[in-house]
Structure 1
């Protein structure tokens, strides 16, 4: 039944055969060990994904990212787009970034020409550029994308307020800006105002720099090792949650980077140790963590399709994508492990034992961050010595 339905859906009317570009999709769905999932997907309303596939098969629309970009975003269309990328029908793209652009086009409706141009330039040269840099380094998260939308929202709110006041961003004065900011924190507009000043669009306005974040530790070493012990030995916890949590608690890996590890960063021999390259240096894993990683290497992802050979150590529920950080964060928090605190506790402990240059090269943190943590660890050690004398 599935084969017949898919054949009818993906048939090119000009040839009577499956449209060539969509053959990988046909093969994947028909060859799946979960055929009922495909049947359910084809039947589930409102059917945006199957309807779009039919248009692609007939040539009514192009099989391209541009087609998806011109359509309203729905869960079905987004899933189909990710699946086509995972099957190499479409070239790779970064959904967290790509989905901001059509949202912004809708959000800026109503602004005058000057303000539309201003927000587009700010989005392109500041907000989206930062997201793309994070994506290139494998550190882009859903929270970062949401933060980007918030910065754009606040900037658009300011521009709309100026139009209501019958003025423009070019004429905005410092007193009027401070009046606008009287009932909200200046930090929400810091990036936008700083960019306006730096580019000369309006160099008469300023906002105070946000308070810098400092290295701090709120998880004690005893709690850290208690969590390590639980994750090493509690088989009731999901395997990927255990490994990712241990990468944070022992090797101070950010949640995003841990979730995005690839299998080619793992070197495993059986018998023999397991090595993981977090940045530039292969690190030997202690047992039984090494054995947990060996088990993970044999697991397939949660996605119904295209989750077998995508290269992720932790393949996620979306075809071709790694495990979502929000998924793992929720599991860890439910276990009483706050990811941010766990990583800081590990950084603090490692900084007291490993020279900061080696720490930076091994863990993939900046030299300045490594120096900051080394200074914090040495301050604590000095206080300990003073307390003992």
Structure 2
């Protein structure tokens, strides 16, 4: 920040008189990793007008990930284990297959899961996602059983698929992650592995629409792994018997 302050005084005299053209000219001389945060601070503080500089890289993808074989083995083990409750099983499938984070899963509402004679459909993003046949029973079970133990009594949550300990609130993401770890699912690795696989085969806009992943994050994942944005993930979808949704 000291370098930025010195540059400001040397260039325009004060933060208040700094223009975007000044910033662009300084950036032309090379990367300034700290500048984005400095300008954000100055703009929020009112010391300068709103100016922009590139956000520094976060370092790319986490190189640690499950292999596809391991991910599919975990998916098969979880979905076939009758001792695992439907809510945990449903969450594990969403994380292993579609990279959905716990914070997104616990926000699922009853209206987001539709059960028909032909399929179970979940809405995570703007487009409906038809679940794999192996995961459909768990999703249907979780959606139909929204009983929550509260103050030594059980109550039915009308809104959330994952009810929390407090009436009207969904489950805490950390609670769900703990349940997943207890059945052998590492949340971070599961999610990373699924997103790596999907981003290599799905265009970012499709990934975002189906999973609810922010479009900027979907683009970042696609760019980071060199995905082909013109490829469609028919191979992945066919492996789990999931029909292609209409977009």
TM-score under structure 1 normalisation?
A: 0.43
Match of 1:349 among 193, 197, 212: 197
Residue 348 of structure 1 deviates from its aligned partner by 0.9
**Whole-Å separation in 2 of the counterparts to 1:324 and 1:379:** 33
Q: Is the 8 A contact 2:200 2:227 kept in 1?
A: no
Match of 2:121 among 255, 275, 292: 275
Q: State the partner residue of 1:246.
A: 93
Q: 1:268 to 1:376 in 2, by over 3 A?
A: same
Residue 376 of structure 1 deviates from its aligned partner by 3.6
1:264 paired with 2:128, answer no
Q: State the partner residue of 1:335.
A: 183
Q: Is the 8 A contact 2:199 2:227 kept in 1?
A: no
Q: State the partner residue of 2:142.
A: 296
Q: Return the structure number with greater helix share.
A: 1
Residue 279 of structure 1 deviates from its aligned partner by 0.8
1:223 paired with 2:89, answer no
- 1:17-48 C-alpha deviation (Å, 9 max, x unpaired): xxxxxxxxxxxxxxxxxxxxxxxxxxxxxxxx
- 1:108-138 C-alpha deviation (Å, 9 max, x unpaired): xxxxxxxxxxxxxxxxxxxxxxxxxxxxxxx
Residue 237 of structure 1 deviates from its aligned partner by 2.1
Report the secondary structure of 1:281's partner residue: coil
- 1:202-258 C-alpha deviation (Å, 9 max, x unpaired): 78xxxxx87624223422212211211121011222321111111111111111111
Higher relative contact order (CA 8 A, sep 6+): 2
Q: Which runs of 5+ in 2 are unaligned?
A: 1-35, 49-54, 229-247
Q: State the partner residue of 2:167.
A: 319
Q: How does 1:48-67 map to 2 (within 5 A)?
A: none
Q: Which runs of 5+ in 1 are unaligned?
A: 1-189, 204-208, 381-389
Q: State the partner residue of 2:33.
A: none
Q: State the partner residue of 2:29.
A: none
**Whole-Å separation in 2 of the counterparts to 1:325 and 1:222:** 27
- 1:56-105 C-alpha deviation (Å, 9 max, x unpaired): xxxxxxxxxxxxxxxxxxxxxxxxxxxxxxxxxxxxxxxxxxxxxxxxxx
TM-score under structure 2 normalisation?
A: 0.65
Q: Is the 8 A contact 1:217 1:345 kept in 2?
A: no
Q: Is the 8 A contact 1:307 1:315 kept in 2?
A: no
Q: How does 1:168-183 map to 2 (within 5 A)?
A: none
- 1:256-312 C-alpha deviation (Å, 9 max, x unpaired): 11111011111111x321111111111111112111122222213323368424211
Segment drifting more, 235-244 vs 253-262: 235-244
1:197 paired with 2:42, answer yes
**Whole-Å separation in 1 of the counterparts to 2:221 and 2:56:** 21
Q: 1:329 to 1:360 in 2, by over 3 A?
A: same
Residue 345 of structure 1 deviates from its aligned partner by 0.7
Report the secondary structure of 1:302's partner residue: strand
Q: Is the 8 A contact 1:215 1:372 kept in 2?
A: no
Q: 1:197 to 1:340 in 2, by over 3 A?
A: same
Report the secondary structure of 2:148's partner residue: coil
The CA RMSD over aligned residues, in Å, is 2.7
